[in-house]
Amino acid sequence: MQIKPIIAALRHHKAGTLLIALQIALTLAIVCNALFIIHLRMAHMAQTSGVDEANLLVIQNGWVGKPAAGENASMLAADLATLRKVPGVVDVYATNAWPLAEGGTVYGIGHTPDKLALVTSTAVYFVDDHALATLGLKLVAGRNFHADEISATGPDHVAPAEVIVTRALAERMFPDGSALGKMVYVSAKPSVIVGVVERMQAPWVDNFAAKWADYATLVPYQLMDSAGANYMVRAVPGQRDDVVRAAPKALLAANPMRVINRDNGVQTYADIRADAYKSDRGMAILMSVISVMLLAITAAGIVGLTSFWVGQRRKQIGVRRALGATRGDILRYFLTENLLIGIGGVLIGIVMAVTVNLWVVTQFEMARLSLGYVIVGTAVLLVLGQCAVLAPALRASKVPPVEATRSV
């Protein structure tokens, strides 16, 4: 196949050639970045929380009026007892926060009591001795809290003698793997690591918490918050939905002076997960829709302009056919022409994709585009161009040689 005559012919269609190349370039620039964003968001959503999501539910309970300090503990104990009696409930504990809650408590953790020399931030979960069983957390070292280690505290009074940490945090604090039994400081007093659990995600999935998303510290406290209490409830597999209905009824029957919001007072982990990752899912969907529409419109543009060119060149095609060119030659001519324009387009497109990405990185705290996306995008656009040009090219190949003699 001779390329020179094709390039010579393209010179007569500068505008159309440039427009198709430009469109391919812009599409590549956007589709590469869109694919990359989709991948980032999907990877973000694929993180596991570490808890038994299928069977867990969270009840957010507000007290009416302020219970006195002594009263608070007995109300909490009564509620926990009530929940344990609900059919289908495996275990229960009261807490301040849970993975994906998008609200909770963060402390600095370090090797000394000096707050300015902390090693990292960590999510702090208030738990009792039932927490591991309720959440389905796996101990990889050490032990659970004993019942006599659990004490009552207000939200701003944390100085635990023992803590349980996640494996990720244990390795961050003691990279040599010797965390068990060591001292760490979340308060002015030392806390000894009595247990290490496999995994428990921090309550936040946003960017600001990305560096310590896997660092959680469990402290042996029952939270005395005069505003209310949150209960984590684990149901027998298959009975979660029954517990969702029965648990708030049982609580209200035991003590009606409470607020359990109708819309989000009782949440399953499916709801919590959907809420936490809503914008990730939305962005992935938006990017996919726009990418598909872009590719469709680019293909349509190629079909439109090539059809026009075929119509314009019917006579020339007829002449070539009369001079001995086969149908295959004509077909290949248009396919090659499109490939040349396509290559020109993707070359500009690669530069644009990288430029767009460099700018996006500065604007939106995102990682750099990896080369794979550019290669995939380039291949997709070149194949798309060949497919789009096929129909008009086939039509061109069917132009009979007799066309050369017409309308002269």
Partner 1 sequence: MLSYYLHLGLRSLRRNPVLTGLMVMAIGFGVAASMTTYSIFRAVSGNPIPDKSAQLFTPQVDGWGPQQNIKGEPPAALSYTDAMALQRAHKAKRLTLLYGMSMSVVPESSNSLPFAANGYAVTGDFFSMFEVPFLYGDGWDSGADDGRAATVVLSEEFNRKIFGGANSVGREVTLDGHGYRVVGVTRHWDPKPRFFALFNGSPFQQPTDFYLPFNRAVDMQVSPNGSSCRGHLNFSGWDDWMHSICVWVTPWVELDNATDVTSYQKFLEAYAADQQHAGRFAWAPNVRLRDVMQWLDFQQVVPPESRISLLLALGFFVICLVNTIGLLLAKFLRRASEIGVRRALGASRRQVYVQYLMEAGTVGLAGGVLGLLLTAAGVSGVGLLFTPEIARLAHLDLSLIALTLLVAVFATMAAAFYPAWRAAQVQPAWQLKSN
Give me the residues that bind partner 1 (CB under 8 A), please. Answer: 15-16, 19-20, 22-23, 26-27, 29-30, 34, 37, 62-66, 113, 115-116, 154, 156-159, 187-188, 226-227, 252, 256-259, 261, 278-279, 281-283, 285-287, 290, 293-294, 297-298, 300-301, 303-305, 307-308, 311-312, 360, 363-364, 407
Closer of 107 and 174 to partner 1 (Cβ):
107
Closer CB to partner 1, 139 or 183, in the complex: 183
- How far is the C-alpha of 72 from the C-alpha of 32, rounded, in Å? 56
278-312 and 371-397 helices, crossing angle to 10°: 30
146 or 278: CB nearest partner 1? 278
| Residues 236, 92 contacting (CB under 8 angstroms) | no
Cβ at position 402, least distance to partner 1 in Å: 18
Report the C-alpha gap between 377 and 390 in whole angstroms.
20
Least distance from C-beta 363 to partner 1, angstroms? 7
Task: Label residue 187 exposed, middle or buried (CB < 10 Å: 0-12, 13-18, 19+).
Answer: middle
Question: DSSP of 330-371, one letter per residue?
Answer: HHHHHHHHHHHHHHHHHHHHHHHHHHHHHHHHHHHT-PPPPH
Retrieve residue 205's tokens. 């999935």
Q: How many residues does the chain have?
A: 408
99 sits in the region (left: phi over 0; alpha: psi -120 to 50; else beta) called beta
User: Which one, 7 or 290, has the nearer CB to partner 1?
Assistant: 290
Return the sign of the alpha-carbon dihedral for residues 24, 29, 30, 32.
positive
d(CA 205, CA 115): 25
Query: What is the DSSP annotation of 282-342?
Result: HHHHHHHHHHHHHHHHHHHHHHHHHHHHHHHTHHHHHHHHHTT--HHHHHHHHHHHHHHHH
CB-nearer residue toward partner 1: 137 or 341: 341
Spell out the residues 6+ positions from residue 367 whose beta carbon is closer than 8 angstroms to its own: 40, 361
Question: Under 8 Å CB-to-CB from 328, ≥6 apart: which residues?
Answer: 397
- Write down the least CB distance from residue 318 to partner 1, Å: 15
d(CA 243, CA 233): 9
CB of 181 to partner 1, least distance (A): 24
CB of 381 to partner 1, least distance (A): 12
Closest approach, Cβ 137 to partner 1, in A, equals 25
Rounded distance between C-alpha atoms, residue 242 and residue 333, angstroms: 68
Closer by beta carbon to partner 1, 257 or else 351: 257
Q: How far is the CB of 362 from partner 1 (least distance, A)?
A: 13
| Residue with Cβ nearer partner 1 (16 or 401) | 16
Q: How many of the other CB atoms lie within 10 Å of CB of 196?
A: 21
In the complex with partner 1, which residue's Cβ is closer, 158 or 196? 158
Nearer to partner 1, 147 or 391 (CB): 391
Q: How far is the CB of 156 from partner 1 (least distance, A)?
A: 5
**How distant, in Å, are the alpha carbons of 8, 67, 330, 372 from that of 32?**
32, 57, 33, 9
CB of 347 to partner 1, least distance (A): 17
Least Cβ distance, residue 296 to partner 1 (angstroms): 9
Nearest approach in angstroms of CB 204 to partner 1 is 13
Residue (311 or 372) nearer to partner 1, CB: 311
CB nearer partner 1, residue 30 or residue 233: 30
